[in-house]
Structure formats: C-alpha cells, structure tokens
Amino acid sequence: MLVLGIESSCDETGVALYDTERGLLAHHLHTQMAMHAEYGGVVPELASRDHIRRLVPLTEGCLKEAGVPYGGIDAVAFTQGPGLGGALLAGSSYANALALALGKPVIPVHHLEGHLLSPLLADEKPDFPFVALLVSGGHTQIMAVRGIGDYELLGESVDDAAGEAFDKTAKLLGLPYPGGAKLSELAKSGRPDAFIFPRPMIHSDDLQMSFSGLKTAVLTAVEKVRAENGADDIPEQTRNDICRAFQDAVVDVLAAKVKKALLQTGFRTLVVAGGVGANWKLREEFGKLTVCMPSEKGRPKNREEKVDVFFPPMAYCTDNGAMIAFAGAMHLNAGREADAFNVRPRWPLSEIVK
Ligand code: KG4
Ligand code: ZN
C-alpha cells in the first residue's frame, strides 16, 4: 500500500511517499524559515499561503522521484493537528481534495505521533516497548510507548517547551530566528562551567519539567555582563559560554527525567524525537546514558545498565512529511478515517491514547 503523507502544521511543508512493502520512496520538504526570519518568528497567515503554493509541486516531485502516477496512491495521510489553524487547513484541504479526486481514503495523523514513530524510519529500529522523549518547539513530553497507538504520557513541561526555550534564549542573545540550532552551534565554542544556570525541577519526584525560568536566568546573566562592560554587546566568548551553560542545563534536566522514566517503566530502550533531538550535546549525553536497574529474578542486584538509545535520522528530526506518511501507513488498516477536513489546532496526544 502506498501512502502519501502531508505535513503543514507550522513553517515546513513536507510531502512523502511511504510504501508498506518497500519503505520510504521519496520525501520532499520546503522550509519557510527564510520567509519568516525577517519577522523574527512564524507569521501564521504567510505560512498558510506558502503551504498552498508548495503542496502540488512537492507532491509531483515525490511522485516523479518514486516513478509513481497519482493513481498509484492508495491513501492520503495528513497532519490534522496540533499546529497553526490556517496552516493545518491548507494541508487538510489539499489532502481531502486529492483523496476525493482519487477515490482513496484520507487518514488524519497527530503531528506528535508522527514524531514519536519517526525513529522507526531508520534502518536500525527500536523494538517496543520504549520510553520516548518528544522534544520539539511546541512540546516536551515523556511517554511510555508499548506499541503503535499505545502511548502513555508520563510527564511534560509545565511551561515552555525545550525547543521554545532554545529559541527564546537565542533571541535574547541577539541570534537570528530560529535560534535553537544556532545557539547549539555557538555552545560548541563555549567553556564548560563559565556560567552555571539552574536545573529547574530536576529533583522533583515526578516527570514534570519546567524551562521558562531558564531564560530569566540567562537574561539576568546577560544584564550583568552588559552592566560590567558598560556596553550593549556581549563579548563573543561570553555569549558562547552562556549558550553552553544554557544547553548543559536543558540537557541535564532532560537526561535526569528520562532516566527516571526508564527506572519507573523498567524499559531499557529510549527513543528521542522532535527538533531538539538534532542537538549534538543531547545526542552525546544520551549516547552514554546508563540506569541502575533494580534487581530482578535471575539478575544481579542493582546493576548499572546501558540504555539503547535511538534517534531519528537527522532529516526526520524536524518537521517532515515522511513521519506523517509512515504514521498514516501504520493506521491504514486501523480504519481511522478523517472527520471531513476538520483540523485540530489544539489536540492533546492523550486523546488518541488508549
Ligand atoms: O519538531 P520541530 O521541527 O517543530 C515543532 O514541531 O516544533 O522542532 C523545532 C524546534 C525549534 O524550537 C528549534 O529551535 C529546535 O527544534 N531545534 C534545536 C536544534 N535544531 C532544532 N534545538 C536545539 N538544538 C538544535 N540543534
Ligand atoms: Zn514538529
């Protein structure tokens, strides 16, 4: 079965073709980043208009690359939410119109489920069950994933998402939108421990997280440096040190909470999904993650165990059509059909959770 996937929830138009027998055949993406950069953030109206412009050429690019005619498509999957209302509607209208014209089913996909399943697009796939850390610009959630469609929310950020904190902190440091990736680049040249920022909620008993206080800590540090230097500009090395300290704080909190989740569930596999999953420090730290598992029958006491960590391939970390086509293909037989072309800008993942 060949599924066309459409992603248009924010500022990336993604289209992909996933074949349940042969895997991913093509995936094309257009990012609106440059268009929004001059406004310092996503302008929803511009985003919707651009999705409309891109959807047909991206689809045709995929079909051409895969050598498949329109008639070869068996179903059209699209991101129904969460995301920007207008942007979602562009994708939904297109997906529904195309499916209607082809006489094929349309499959609504939850954007976060797409992210959650994206590591399954890699050659080396995780086995169920696993703990998933979803870290994007809009969400920071830790879930127990026992199978396709079987997700349990274990904890989440009570305020800013980790990616949002990266972007806001980058803006505060004068970096161009979207600053998360740029901040993490600069952190490479930052000296460890030149600044130390708090690790909010790291010791709380639950799996809840908080990142909004971190940008205040950064702001305080920036103001202090400015006052000391008597200038608005922050020296380059100091800025890089701040980037490093901020990134270290976020990654420390995420690692501590994920460890707790692994202990709580007893799972030994971790999957990281979402844009922040592209972060080098997070990959480095999670790559050496171990947890001290309590004793079990037939196993030695309190042994430190290496965790199997899976990251989606870089191209599928940020928003893309491949993860939507894949999630759609997984649901194809489950008979989840769309409620006309309604979109759900606010759609808690818990509503599709068993
Ligand atoms: O998953 P995604 O593409 O879109 C959402 O659904 O939000 O994630 C985008 C987020 C942005 O906040 C961006 O700053 C962040 O991922 N991001 C990064 C890095 N690359 C992207 N954050 C930290 N380090 C990176 N290398
Ligand atoms: Zn996303």
- CA of 230 from ligand 2 middle (Å) equals 40
By CB neighbour count within 10 A (0-12 exposed, 13-18 middle, 19+ buried), where does 328 fall? buried
Is pLDDT above 70 for 337? Answer: no
pLDDT band at 343 (very low <50, low <70, confident <90, very high): confident
- Mutation to probe ligand 1, out of 136, 139, 253 (largest number of atoms < 8 A from CB): 136
Extents of the domains making up the chain: 2-118+315-351, 126-310
For the stretch 16-39, pLDDT in tens is 999 999 999 999 999 999 999 889
Other C-beta atoms lying within 10 Å of the C-beta of residue 261: 21
Pairing state between β 75-81 and 2-7: parallel
d(CA 318, CA 308) in angstroms, rounded, equals 22
d(CA 144, CA 343) in angstroms, rounded, equals 26
Is the beta carbon of 274 within 6 A of some atom in ligand 1? yes
pTM for this prediction: 0.89
Domains 2-118+315-351 and 126-310 share a fold: yes
d(CA 215, CA 173) in angstroms, rounded, equals 10
What is the mean pLDDT of the segment spanning 192-213? 94
Other C-beta atoms lying within 10 Å of the C-beta of residue 243: 27
- CA distances, 172 to each of 183, 228, 234, 244 (Å): 11, 18, 11, 15
For the stretch 319-328, pLDDT in tens is 999 999 999 9
The architecture of the domain spanning 2-118+315-351 is 2-Layer Sandwich (3.30)
Of the listed ligands, the closest to the CA of 165 is 1
Annotated binding site: 111, 115, 134-138, 167, 180, 279, 319
pLDDT band at 349 (very low <50, low <70, confident <90, very high): confident
Contacts of 91 (CB under 8 A, 6+ apart): 6, 7, 8, 9, 13, 51, 55, 78, 79
Is pLDDT above 90 for 305? Answer: no
- Per the CB < 8 A criterion, the answer to whether 324 and 76 are in contact is no
Q: What is the pLDDT at residue 346?
A: 87
Q: What is the pLDDT at residue 47?
A: 97
Decide if domain 126-310 falls under CATH 1.50.10.10: no
For the stretch 235-266, pLDDT in tens is 999 999 999 999 999 999 999 999 999 999 99
